[in-house]
Homo-oligomer: A and B are copies of this chain.
Amino acid sequence: VTTRVAACQLALSVGAVAANRAAARAAIEQAARAGGRLAVLPELTPSGYVFAGAAEARALAEPLTGPTVGEWIELARRHDMVIVGGLCELDETGAVRNSSVLVDPGGLRAVYRKAHLWHDEQDCFVPGAAPPPVVDTAVGRIGLLICYDSEFPEWVRLPALAGAEILAISTNWPAETGDGDGAAAGVPAGERHHLVVNVQAAAYVNKVFVAVADRCGTERGVSWVGGTTIIGPDGYPLAGPVRADRSAVLMADCDVRLARDKRVGPRNDIHADRRTDLY
């Protein structure tokens, strides 16, 4: 019941699809060599993030039957792993989505379409309207979220209440000005970035593991928080946050049984104590 989880911080470039896929593949293989059974990749891994506009996003979109998901399934089979990663999806209706998928040796198990769109994503993507899926895998029950979704506690609650033991959050957290690598204008000295703090709290109030995969490098002038982290159900990091402008494959052993027990004291259960009569 202990799952070795890998959270992969990657340097990606918008439009450099082959190189981006190769970076993801290398990280998955590194995770596999280290015994990882679940690998989490960033948001929009093959395409990159900083699109010039909707036309560029559409040009870089691919269907779930496309080469990225195909390669991830092949890697999942070869290494007997679960892989979660984000991609720019052309869906069955022709809409472009900011999606993440979960694949395992059985193939594509779930797709999630980001419901809360950040900034110019609003020009590029149709937001999702379905709750985050929770997938029962060989290595635990895994819920999917993407980036800004995690800032809405009501939304994080849904997969947690649906039994997720690990929330896999694919993200591209743009750094505020001067906030590239910890020597931060936006982040007070000695403080952990508030987006990392927020996912720590999400783990704690739901007693779930959280694995966040973020970006590094610079893309069209945007740099990233580098907030890749694996957090335990008590809200404390098991690995990371990286908080540096470098690629990284963080590993942590997660006893998923801990996430099935929502007790926070002898007489309290942080899920059962919700006042569902009031909210």
Interface residues, chain A, CB within 8 Å of chain B? 115-116, 118-120, 122, 127, 129, 131, 148, 151-155, 157-158, 186-188, 191-192, 194, 197-198, 200-202, 204-205, 234-237, 264-268, 270, 273-275, 277-279
Contact = CB atoms under 8 A, between A and B. Distances in A.
Contact of A188 (B236, B265, B274): B236
Given A115-B278, A129-B278, A274-B154, A234 B267 contact: no
A238 to B, nearest CB: 9
B277 A205 contact: no
Contact of A122 (B148, B188, B198, B267): B267
Q: Report whether over half of chain A's contact residues are helix, strand or loop; otherwise say mixed.
A: loop
A236 B270 contact: no
A114 B121 CA distance: 40
A266 B123 CA distance: 14
Contact of A191 (B115, B129, B205, B236): B236
A151 B270 contact: yes
Given A118-B265, A236-B194, A152 B274 contact: yes
Contact of A120 (B152, B204, B267, B270): B267
B155 A154 contact: no
A272 to B, nearest CB: 11
B119 A268 contact: yes
5 contacts: A119-B266, A148-B273, A186-B234, A188-B236, A197-B200
Taking each of A152, A158, A201, which has the highest tally of chain B beta carbons within 10 Å of its own beta carbon?
A: A201
Nearest to A149: B275
A152 B118 contact: no
A40 B171 CA distance: 37
Contact of A201 (B201, B237, B270, B274): B201
A265 B198 contact: no
A192 B188 CA distance: 15
Contacts of A265: 118-119
Given A115-B278, A154-B154, A197-B200, 19 more contacts: A119-B267, A119-B268, A129-B277, A131-B278, A148-B273, A151-B270, A153-B154, A153-B157, A153-B205, A154-B274, A154-B279, A186-B234, A194-B200, A194-B201, A197-B197, A197-B201, A197-B235, A198-B205, A201-B202
